Structure formats: structure tokens, C-alpha cells
Structure 1
């Protein structure tokens, strides 16, 4: 099942509207040494992991916001003219990469990027070319599947550290006066990610069962890091659904291998995962791709690291 190829197009009307919203000038005033004069940087990020990574690096030196609000599927997000204006007015714009935020190249082509520092957080990560669904049908005709680059690098704590490095570099390039703070903040946060990585290894390395069934193929990098096998119902985007034939094969596989849990996610519709769980007698449990954490959850201390720990607890139900 081919990955849906989405290209965001910025119309002349949108560009004119965004220009009107932006006004005649940008407030990113810098001194002669290239440092921002204002007390805090204005940083716009795309969706939650980029927001959380960035705020941990920035600390007290920036106001960090996210364009994609909780409850919105990031794969489906398209920015409004107001969102585009926010990007151009920011000191720094942070996004995961072109394979996730497919609308970014068109937006960047429509604005003055001399006034905003753009951070592609996955720029130094070699993305895996992955089929849209890792499950292979046995004893039947295989559907043609198009290879696509998997953008879900943030779900691997090791690769998350690489994204933090890219964000740190972006902040330092704009605000050299606070370089040591950004470096220290990034080091502290990467230590937490290293501890998280160790937790995953300790829990999963010696497991006898390594397979898990998930709603969409978001966990390829996590599975690769810890020697697991991801069996995905949908492809790299949760909007993609398997054919009835593949659903039947998945049902047989789940029943034949006594897989007791099927993982769904909080943002995309869990209908297909729940249907498969009902058909096989498996439990439906949350495994979060961390694409949207509500403000209420954040106020209770839920963040990237806590959600990954929750994911580990969920995986322990079948990876044991």
C-alpha cells in the first residue's frame, strides 16, 4: 500500500495574508555580534517532541511554542496563514524533518528565511527506507508496497539525542551569549535520554518474545534499537489502512502466535486496532507515538521522557 504523497502548496492569497499579518518588519533585532538584544528568544516548533526537546535546551532563555496542538494528527497538519506568520516572526523555527512535516519546504520557500534560523532536527540522522507496513503475508499474494523514508526518529532515545544536538546548535548560532547555558541544558537532557535508553535495554534485551502489534508503523527505529519486531496494522501514516486481505492475515497471525495485546495511539482513530483486538480476543492498549500531549497532561508532569517510560511499561506486557 503506497504511502500517500502529500505536498503542501502555499497560494498567493495565503502569502499575501501572511505578509499582512507579519507587518512591515521583523522584531528579531540583533547587536553587531549577531546576538539577539531581547531577553528571550522566540522559538516556534512543529509538534510535541520538537517542543519538549527545545524547551529543555532553551531553559529560561526562550519562549517556546508548538504549532500542532494536542489532539491534532501531525501527519495531517497543514499550517494556516497565521501559523506561517508565526514562523517568519520567530527567531528560530524547529521541525523534525521534511519526511514528517511535508509542508515545510513550501512554507520556507514563501518566507524570508534570512530573518529566522531554521533547525531541521533530524538533519544528521540517516533515515531508514522502510516499507509502509513491516508485516509480510505468508502463503498469499503480497501487496505492492512503496518504500518511504521513516520520519519517526524521536521514538528512539538514542536518535532523540541527535535531535537535541541539532537544536542546541541552532540556539547557539542565534544566541552566543548564552552558549554555555544551552550546552549545559542539552548535556543534562541527553543524560536523561541516555538513562531512558538504558531502561529500555535492561527491560527488553533478554526478552524471549520480541514481536508487538501496533496501529501504525511509527516504532521502526525503536524496534531496531532494541532488537524488536514491529508488526504494523497501518503504514508510516496512520491514515493508511490495510486491505481486508491483509487484515485477515494479521488476524490469523495474531491468533496463531497468541499475541495478547494490540497497541493503539491517542491521536489517530483506534477503530481498526480495536476491531482487530475484538476479533482476536486481544487487549487494546495505548502505545504513544508522542505526537500530541495535552496541556492538562503537561501540567501533571507528563512529558516526552515520562511518556516513553509509559510506552516501555506497555511493551513489557508482550515483550518478556
Structure 2
């Protein structure tokens, strides 16, 4: 029979071994159950990670559902999650706090979704009125996920990065990405078909978030505000947007789910238009929604507002 002191020593050693193994798993970027530990910056990247990873990954999102992601701030626990992750999926230039944490804590285990596709230059999204000062916004437009074609490319490259982080399941990640790519191709076909023949091709939006979508389907976006939804449009710019809306016969002024609709409603009243939601998919507000359901709701709103006939 084992003596009490030996029993205590054996127990202590077992506990230390277990703790060391747990720390090793955490340090290696895998959860205790063997899943790859993935941290994502905001919803579209969470969606991709969960679809590609399936039950082989444990996904943590840094932006809470329904929160505005542009100006997210991180708490110490979230910074710790970035440090411990096996892979961090983010989009450089979109969330400064996330960029900083990735640079400091996870530079060698991060996937920048904007680095694998061509990004459009940031712009204020409208033609300027005579005498109106032009002031292009710096950097790139981050809203690349609203173009299903570019999003499909990101899907493929992210699956490759998953495979690098978790080689034993690389083939599984690749197969899931192929399935998702096919679904995104089908979504692109739906948009292209539905938006091919329309009475109008200009969309007036409260926030210049839809340039990738407009660029893909030969539309023109007129933004009330720029890339940042919190920027304040000048009275001259508001008057110019209203004038463009009248000239193009705009029947709908779009606002988004996470930003106040007041300015869009003001423009709509002035030009005799209605308002409708066009969701930039920066964060979900409905628990049963996902990327595809929101994009198809956007397509329904666009075809109605633009007078499209397929």
C-alpha cells in the first residue's frame, strides 16, 4: 500500500503534469478538447471561420453581436485571447484596437483577410457639388465581404491558413471551403441576374459601405457619410445628395441596422422617397440570421428600390 507522503507526492506530480499539459495546449493554440483556437475580429470573419472550421475549431469573436465594429475597444481578457489563439482572423485597417493587439500579441499567427484580395481605395462615395471641397479618406475600403466573389477568394486563402495552423485537418478545411465557395458563386449569380436590368442604378446610402457590391454589379453608390458611419456630412453635401436623388429618380434612401436612420429619413422626406434597410453585415442583429440570409434580404431591398426586372 502506498504511504500517505508518497500518495501526496504522486498526486502533486499528476496535478503538475496535467497543468503543464493544459498550458502546453493553450500555448500551442489548441483548446483542451483538441480544437483549433480561433479568434475573429467581427461577424463576416466569424462566419467564414465557423463554416470552414466546423467542429474542429473553437471560435471567439471580438465584436459583440449588434455592436458597431469600427470603433471596438478590447478588454484585457480579449487581448489575452488573441495572445493564446492558434489563429487570429482580422482585417487590417478596419479596427485599430484589433490591429494593435495583433501586432503586439499575434503577428506570426494572424490572417489578414484584406491581404489576399484587391481592395478598393477609400473614398467618400459621391460626386462633389461645384465648390465643395474634396477630401478622399485615407487607406483602403474594408467592406470587401459585401462582394461574394472577393469573399469566395478569402474563403480559399483562409482554408489554406487553417491547414497551416492545423495540418492534421487541412484536407477537411479545404473541402469545407470548396462547399462554401460554391455557395458564394451561386449567390453572385443571383445578384448578377437580379440586378442586370433595373430602372435605376444609383443607390443612396447612409454610410459608404457598399462600394464593393456596387462595383461588382455595375451600380453607383451615393453615400451620405463616408467610410466611417460616425462622420458628419456638411449641409452642402446633404443638399447635393438630395439633388442627386431627385435627378436620378431615387425612390428609396437606405440606412443600416447599427447606425441612426435620422439623416437618411431627413433626405427621404426632402425628396419624397421612402427609407429601407441595407445591411452592411458588420454585425448581426437577428439571432437566426447569417451571411447568406442577410445578403439575400439586401438583394430583395435593392431590386425593389431600383426597379429591377429579372
TM-score category of the 2 structures, normalised to the smaller one: 0.7 to 0.9
Select the residue among 242, 250, 261 that pairs with 2:252.
261
CA contact 2:242–2:270 (8 Å) conserved in 1: yes
Q: 1:118 Cα deviation (Å)?
A: 0.8
User: Moved runs in structure 1, 4+ residues, more than 6 A?
Assistant: 34-37
Give the number of the structure whose residues are more often helix, by fraction. Answer: 2
Taking a change above 3 Å as real, the CA distance of residues 89 and 36 of structure 1, as seen in their structure-2 partners, is closer
CA contact 1:211–1:318 (8 Å) conserved in 2: no
Q: Equivalent residues in 2 for 1:88-237 (5 A)?
A: 88-95=83-90, 97-111=91-105, 113=107, 117-131=109-123, 133-138=124-129, 140-148=130-138, 149-237=140-228
CA contact 2:203–2:222 (8 Å) conserved in 1: yes
Distance 1:173 1:35 in 2: 13
CA contact 1:120–1:166 (8 Å) conserved in 2: no
CA contact 1:29–1:36 (8 Å) conserved in 2: no
CA contact 1:88–1:112 (8 Å) conserved in 2: yes
Aligned position for 1:72: 67
Taking a change above 3 Å as real, the CA distance of residues 249 and 185 of structure 1, as seen in their structure-2 partners, is same
Q: 1:51 Cα deviation (Å)?
A: 0.5
TM-score (norm 2): 0.86
Select the residue among 258, 261, 268 that pairs with 1:277.
268
Distance 2:107 2:37 in 1: 15
Is the partner of 2:25 in helix, strand or coil? coil
Q: String of CA shifts for 1:109-135, please: whole Å, max 9, x gaps.
A: 332545xx211112111211132x221
Q: 1:212 Cα deviation (Å)?
A: 0.6
User: Aligned Cα RMSD in Å?
Assistant: 2.1
Q: 1:26 Cα deviation (Å)?
A: 6.0
Unmatched 5+ residue regions in structure 2?
Answer: 1-21
Q: String of CA shifts for 1:277-297, please: whole Å, max 9, x gaps.
A: 122221110000001114xx3
Is the partner of 1:28 in helix, strand or coil? helix
CA contact 1:171–1:182 (8 Å) conserved in 2: yes
Q: 1:25 Cα deviation (Å)?
A: 5.2
Q: String of CA shifts for 1:263-287, please: whole Å, max 9, x gaps.
A: 0001122221122112222111000
Which structure has more relative contact order (CA 8 Å, sep 6+)? It is 1
Q: 1:220 Cα deviation (Å)?
A: 0.6
Distance 2:297 2:276 in 1: 11
Q: Which has the larger radius of gyration?
A: 2
Aligned residues: 285
Select the residue among 263, 279, 283 that pairs with 1:292.
283
CA contact 1:220–1:230 (8 Å) conserved in 2: yes
Select the residue among 5, 28, 32 that pairs with 2:26.
28
Q: String of CA shifts for 1:228-257, please: whole Å, max 9, x gaps.
A: 000111001101121001101111222233
Q: 1:47 Cα deviation (Å)?
A: 0.7
